[in-house]
Structure 1
Amino acid sequence: MTRAIMIQGAGSNVGKSMLVAGIARALTQRGLRVAPFKPQNMSNNAAVTADGGEIGRAQALQAMAARRAPHTDMNPVLLKPETDIGAQVIVQGQRFATLKARDYAKAKPQLLAPALESFHRLAGTADIVLIEGAGSPAEINLRAGDIANMGFAEAANVPVVLVGDIDRGGVIAQIVGTKTVLPAADAARIRGFAINKFRGDVSLFDDGLTAITEMTGWPSLGVLPWFDEAWRLPAEDVMDIRSTARDGAFRIAVPRLARIANFDDLDPLSAEPGVSVEIIEPGRPLPGDADLVLIPGSKSTISDLAHFRAQGWDIDLAAHLRRGGHVLGICGGYQMLGKTIDDPDGIEGAPGKVAGLGLLNVETIMKPEKHLALQQATYRPTGAALSGYEIHIGETSGPDCTHAWLTVNGARHGAASPDGRVRGCYLHGLFASDRFRADFLAALGGDAQINYDTETDAVLDRLGAHVTQHLDLDLLMELSAPV
């Protein structure tokens, strides 16, 4: 019989995604079939699944932790912000609509059915489903029509464990305050709590655990110390990438676009001990000593191109090239490098054509059909095999495509300047392939040393052991319920 339990947070960024990944690996190591599930996620860092859709990157990592292939049922509703007040809504892997926040609130009730459908279908393949909430159930102003936290827990009739982040301070108020503001029926769904991100002597919080239990009536599953290797795992938030910048001999500068998307390309690079990946925040110039400027993907290419110019990064990029530097654009970054971007149907805003950075002799036309595919490719300069995925709208063509540096499914892919110092492609995830990463960096004077997938899997093993040591997983299973 399949069981399920939901991990909710007393606030945003309490570490729910990492915790679910750790529990997934720990229970998988016990021989259980584990399925991660998040009814609603909000992220522009998506993963493409073998069944032809997209899900949040965190659920793809959790699937890896559970030693199973990512599937669209693991994240049936994905919100991809395009503006400050609107997002593209992905339902069971496919585009559903682009809605403003107020309109999405009205649409939520009709999204509960596909979320439950995916949940029950996934449950049929597992011994336990680990459900991750979004944000916090304490946001009671969002309770009506909720499908992310208590609304889903109620509909699926699953118990909840509440997680607090002690690193931020005030964790007792986080946990106890959440119970205080919740409606009684929602509070009754919480069966236990856990504390995450503790630094120092855990025993010093024993009295804190006692106080929380006395004020809530909930048992403690334990206190999870800070996991020092968290930075080695693929990040869902670009802010988590920044913390990995080190003093590697090979320096990569990455301008932080306002709508940066699918930046998992950076994870294998930042894991390399000889490579420093630095996220350049708006208002800062691109560093003059960078070996490579990597322009990442974007959810809104044309507006991010305007943002790029507003920072003066176009001027910095030209100076970088004059100094002999190299530039790589991936997906939206590739489109920006061309001569023009034409959006005749107004997919990203008002219809029209804008000038690109003009560093590649190519042009892009935006088209409404989104291209989603897992791909096998070859790095043409060395013959290195690699894999990746495409997730984009738009088609790019022009004379510099004759200098294509990749082959995808037998066809030339991407473009390069005649001197080869400016390159672009639509293929995400390519740096996870070890030989390609080594060959690419070597050509630019860098060095690759690690086996990325093996290292990532080993970190997940250590995360699973960390969770096993510090959390009461027997209690977690006891608190879970059949579905």
Structure 2
Amino acid sequence: MLAKALMLQGTGSDVGKSILVAGLCRAFVNRGLKVRPFKPQNMSNNAAVTADGGEIGRAQALQARACKVPASVHMNPVLLKPQSMIGSQVVMQGKVLGNAKASEYQAWKPKLLGAVLQSFAHLRNEADLVIVEGAGSASEINLRANDIANMGFARAADVPVLLVGDIDRGGVIAQVVGTKAVLAPEDAGMVAGFIINKFRGDPALFEAGMRLIVEHSGWPSFGLVPFFADAHRLPPEDGVALTHRVKLRDGRITIAVPVLPRISNFDDLDPLKQEPDVRLMLLRMGEPLPAEADVVILPGSKATIADLQDFRAAGWDIDLIAHVRRGGRVLGLCGGYQMLGAKIDDPDGIEGPAGGCDGLGLLDVATVLTPKKTLVEVSGVTSEGAAFHGYEMHIGETIGAGLRRPMLTFADGRPDGAVSPDGRVKGCYVHGLFADDGLRRAWLQSLGGQGSDLAYEQSVEATLDALAAHLEAHVDLDALLETAR
């Protein structure tokens, strides 16, 4: 028997769809159901390696975790990884299909719909319930032709839709009612009701607002969800989270991270955000690297050469050299590691125009970008002897004398990364290092911190359970199950 399905679409981006889907997945799993997450099309450079050897959006990997099952490429069959303001790498069922400009991609969609429906059918065959997440806004009627992410998918797969509005950003009545006004009648007919998310204050004060939404949209309410304060403990879906300026705690260790336009896999930083000893500074273009920084982390990038050019344009290369001369430390992860070398070449134009550029010259290595992509989970020990586990997700082959001082050694004996002769500059290809409690604690202690008793993975699990309980209290889950088909 095929699983029932239900789809959450938003009145806009960043209304909380990903978190709601994760919470609903865990809530229904806790009720004893076999649940699977599904997102037909995602646009994010925050990706995860799957158990079946591909890559999907990080949000779907979190949702799989909420379902207590391994992540699969079928949970996010189309992943768009932006490489420029107008173009993206297209990943289909976990493997790179090619690059396309936004205008070109519109013509690709009908061809991709078959793979989307195939993956959806695969999940329905192994579950009781599939919870689907839309992308962006349901009201983007300018993109409705050939749509595979929102109403186009819902209609093709005959999946009822719940519309999610975000009251925290204001204008939620207009969000929901306006969506009803612009949708074609056939699409509006797919909407079974709405959820209002991120409410703060006394719910009684918005009772009239809920009634007005019902009156003007004709859609019933499935719940008013109060703001979930611990959402920041869960890995974010995309770079929108990095634009939110939050007051960071004072800590004895200052870590500066330049946020480049094509930053990827920035969930590497999430465990550090929760460490009491750490003051994490996410720097926008134009802000200098702070002189008081103990460490500068160069994170991953979807277009390394282009981001390195922007790094220089911001003057961060000069700041970084000064940081190193003062005795500061530097850590490069994946694309950041490539930037630290002497040269980066892209002869085939894989990440942008064919060509190359000088690196920052802080590690004695050089990288050539190649078509083959490495997607694998790894484990081993660091150069200091600390155990680690993480994953590789990169293109490129790195060579040079610096590799004789590897930062990591994999369990199979292979070296990875490089360390400068004075030990202050390091880089490697492995993501997810700081999620390992032992490694993170040892690293912070090497920087003069104490290292806390934070159990990061347990924290994520506890937060998912708390989110599930939160939704049990504020959403009519029984009605959701009855609505699913």
Q: Does 1:140 align with 2:141?
A: yes
Question: Which of 459, 463, 470 is matched with 1:466 structurally?
Answer: 470
SS at match of 1:394: strand
Map Cα deviations across residues 89-140 of structure 1 (whole Å, 9 max, x no partner). 0000000110000110011001000000000101111110000000112111
Show the 5 A alignment for 1:436-451: 436-449=439-452, 450-451=454-455
**2: CA distance between counterparts of 1:239 and 1:229?**
17
8 Å CA contact retained: 2:163, 2:193: yes
Aligned twin of 2:218: 217
Aligned twin of 1:372: 375
**1: CA distance between counterparts of 2:197 and 2:97?**
35
Aligned-pair CA distance for 1:365: 1.0
**2: CA distance between counterparts of 1:245 and 1:104?**
39
Relative to 1, partners in 2 of residues 1:239 and 1:349: Cα closer, same or farther, differing over 3 Å? closer
Q: Does 1:476 align with 2:477?
A: no
- Aligned AA (2:230): E
> Greater shift after overlay, 135-144 or 235-244?
235-244
Aligned twin of 1:268: 271
Question: Which of 458, 470, 473 is matched with 1:454 structurally?
Answer: 458
**2: CA distance between counterparts of 1:142 and 1:136?**
10
**2: CA distance between counterparts of 1:143 and 1:456?**
36
- Aligned AA (2:474): H
**1: CA distance between counterparts of 2:62 and 2:250?**
27
Aligned-pair CA distance for 1:234: 0.9
Aligned twin of 2:408: 406
8 Å CA contact retained: 2:9, 2:133: yes
Aligned twin of 2:18: 17
Aligned twin of 1:349: 352
**2: CA distance between counterparts of 1:454 and 1:301?**
33
Q: Provide the alpha-carbon RMSD of the alignment.
A: 1.1
Aligned twin of 1:33: 34
SS at match of 2:96: strand
**1: CA distance between counterparts of 2:357 and 2:219?**
58
Aligned twin of 2:4: 3
Show the 5 A alignment for 1:124-273: 124-241=125-242, 243=246, 245-273=248-276
**2: CA distance between counterparts of 1:192 and 1:91?**
31
**1: CA distance between counterparts of 2:273 and 2:450?**
12
**1: CA distance between counterparts of 2:414 and 2:217?**
61
**1: CA distance between counterparts of 2:212 and 2:238?**
33
- Aligned AA (1:394): G
Aligned-pair CA distance for 1:213: 1.1
Aligned twin of 1:362: 365
8 Å CA contact retained: 2:408, 2:416: yes
**2: CA distance between counterparts of 1:446 and 1:96?**
45
Aligned-pair CA distance for 1:67: 1.1
**2: CA distance between counterparts of 1:26 and 1:240?**
24
> Greater shift after overlay, 289-298 or 434-443?
434-443
Aligned-pair CA distance for 1:239: 4.2
Question: Which of 291, 315, 327 is matched with 1:324 structurally?
Answer: 327
8 Å CA contact retained: 1:337, 1:359: yes
8 Å CA contact retained: 1:231, 1:244: no
- Aligned AA (2:388): L
SS at match of 2:209: helix
8 Å CA contact retained: 1:244, 1:270: no
- Aligned AA (1:404): P
Which ranges in structure 1 are unaligned for 5 or more consecutive residues? none
Aligned-pair CA distance for 1:354: 1.2
Question: Which of 372, 378, 395 is matched with 2:397 structurally?
Answer: 395
Q: Does 1:338 align with 2:341?
A: yes
- Aligned AA (1:291): D
> Greater shift after overlay, 345-354 or 397-406?
345-354
Aligned twin of 1:55: 56
**1: CA distance between counterparts of 2:478 and 2:282?**
41
> Greater shift after overlay, 122-131 or 345-354?
345-354
SS at match of 2:106: helix
8 Å CA contact retained: 2:83, 2:352: no
8 Å CA contact retained: 1:221, 1:471: yes
Aligned-pair CA distance for 1:431: 1.0
Map Cα deviations across residues 140-175 of structure 1 (whole Å, 9 max, x no partner). 111110000000000100100001000111111111
8 Å CA contact retained: 2:10, 2:137: yes
SS at match of 2:206: helix
Aligned-pair CA distance for 1:304: 0.5
TM-score, with normalisation over the residues of structure 1? 0.98
> Greater shift after overlay, 456-465 or 444-453?
444-453
8 Å CA contact retained: 1:260, 1:296: yes
Map Cα deviations across residues 168-216 of structure 1 (whole Å, 9 max, x no partner). 1111111111111111010010011010011111111111111111122
**2: CA distance between counterparts of 1:394 and 1:243?**
35
**2: CA distance between counterparts of 1:214 and 1:346?**
54
Aligned twin of 2:418: 415
Relative to 1, partners in 2 of residues 1:239 and 1:177: Cα closer, same or farther, differing over 3 Å? closer
SS at match of 1:369: strand
**2: CA distance between counterparts of 1:475 and 1:274?**
45
**1: CA distance between counterparts of 2:128 and 2:353?**
49
**1: CA distance between counterparts of 2:173 and 2:353?**
49
**2: CA distance between counterparts of 1:108 and 1:237?**
22
**2: CA distance between counterparts of 1:400 and 1:330?**
15
> Greater shift after overlay, 391-400 or 152-161?
391-400
**1: CA distance between counterparts of 2:148 and 2:284?**
33
SS at match of 1:319: helix
Same amino acid, percent of matched pairs: 59
Map Cα deviations across residues 410-464 of structure 1 (whole Å, 9 max, x no partner). 1111101001100000001111111111111111112332011001110111111
Aligned-pair CA distance for 1:249: 2.1
Aligned-pair CA distance for 1:245: 3.2
**2: CA distance between counterparts of 1:349 and 1:457?**
39
8 Å CA contact retained: 2:173, 2:213: yes
8 Å CA contact retained: 1:275, 1:447: no
8 Å CA contact retained: 1:251, 1:290: yes
Aligned-pair CA distance for 1:244: 7.2
Which ranges in structure 2 are unaligned for 5 or more consecutive residues? none
SS at match of 2:481: helix
**2: CA distance between counterparts of 1:448 and 1:161?**
43
